[in-house]
Amino acid sequence: MQARVIEGYGSSVTEPEPAVDARRIAAQALSRVRFEEEALDLADQVYRVARRLVGSREEAEDLVQETYARAFRSWRSYTPGTNMRAWLLRILTNLNVDRGRRVQRTPQMQPLEESDYYLANKVASAAGEDALEQDQVVERLSQDSIVHALADIQPQFREVVVLVDIGDFSYADAAEILDIPMGTVMSRLHRGRRALKQRLAEETVA
Amino acid sequence: MTLDPCERCEELMQEFLDRTLSDAEWREAETHLAECDYCRRRYRFEETLRRYVKLSAVERMPPGLMSKLEELRGLDAMA
């Protein structure tokens, strides 16, 4: 019998003997169950990111299922102790690209507003400087408006905003997940946030 | 080109909120915010907006999705 080297979950093992082979299989099964449990514990968070990346609840649900199907299939390639949430979201964002969702919304290039204070300035000129310090004013840029505005911005900007501002990932994690340089994360984030505020200004501040 | 202090503060604002500025830049922004009502209000606004953007995503998984995911357990590329 050929010795096999198993990599990934658990240490590498070289083991030709049947008795030990059975133990190895048992150990592997246990690792795998742990892996699955850990992954499923993150499902809510994974769904939250998916929900903001794609247009509808149904698409988000599909995307999460595909993500878990792929994750479970390739559980051996996950290195225990590393960031599983980032690992899962990397699968998810890749699938999202594969499925061509990037082009679905055919977003046009939006001219970018000149200022980061753009929305704040709009609010201030509509409701006064003091309005900027009132939570209710931002609250009135209601949940729905933010969701719509987010859905409206270009996908490569949306991805980064969703990961960093909603998923709480660091720039470095987002860079790893999306497989782009950190500088690109930062510039897309910057532009994405501006685009988001611009959409909000258009939608909510007459 | 030198930016006026408020333009400079605006430029630093997002990273100030992200807490990714260098110490020197952080102090620069903080000092300016302490003395400028215009920028402080905008800082407050941006901070609140961030919170609401995060809240906008608070949505539970649809009922039934978890059991669909549970059913996927045991899939294996090597099987």
- Residues A51-94: tens digit of each pLDDT: 888 878 888 999 999 999 999 999 889 998 899 999 999 999 99
Which ipTM was obtained for this model?
0.81
The average confidence (pLDDT) of chain A is 83
The angle that helices B23-35 and B5-18 make with each other, rounded to 10 degrees, is 120
Element of type H or E holding A13: strand A13-14
In this structure, are strands A5-6 and A13-14 parallel, antiparallel, or unpaired?
Answer: antiparallel
Closest residue in A to B12 (Cα) is A116
What is the average pLDDT across B33-60?
90
User: What's the rounded mean pLDDT across residues A136-144?
Assistant: 76
Asked if the Cβ–Cβ distance from A146 to B13 is below 8 Å, we say no
On whether any CB of chain A is under 8 Å from the CB of B47, the answer is no
Chain A residues with CB inside 8 Å of B8's CB?
Answer: none
| Shortest distance, CA B61 to any CA of chain A (angstroms) | 6
Which residues of A fall within a CB distance of 8 Å from B57? 48-49, 51-52, 162, 166
Residues of chain A with pLDDT > 90, as a percent, come to 38
Size of interface A-B (CB pairs under 8 A): 110
Answer whether B52 sits within 8 Å of A146, measured CB to CB: yes
Give the residue-averaged pLDDT of B30-53.
Answer: 94
More confidently predicted of A5 and A191: A191
Q: Which pLDDT score, from 0 to 100, does residue A106 have?
A: 47
Arithmetic mean of pLDDT, B6-34: 94
Residue A48 and residue B58 in contact, taking contact as beta carbons nearer than 8 Å: yes
B14 in Cβ contact with B50 (< 8 Å): no
Residues of B in contact with A143 (CB under 8 A): 52, 55-56
Q: Is the entire prediction scored with pTM above 0.90?
A: no
Q: What pLDDT sits at residue A99?
A: 75
Decide which of A42 and A26 is more confident. Answer: A42
Q: Does B73 touch chain A if contact means CB atoms closer than 8 Å? A: yes
Residue reference for tokens 């669909």: B68
- pLDDT band (50, 70, 90) for residue A142: low
Provide the 3-class DSSP secondary structure of residue A138.
helix
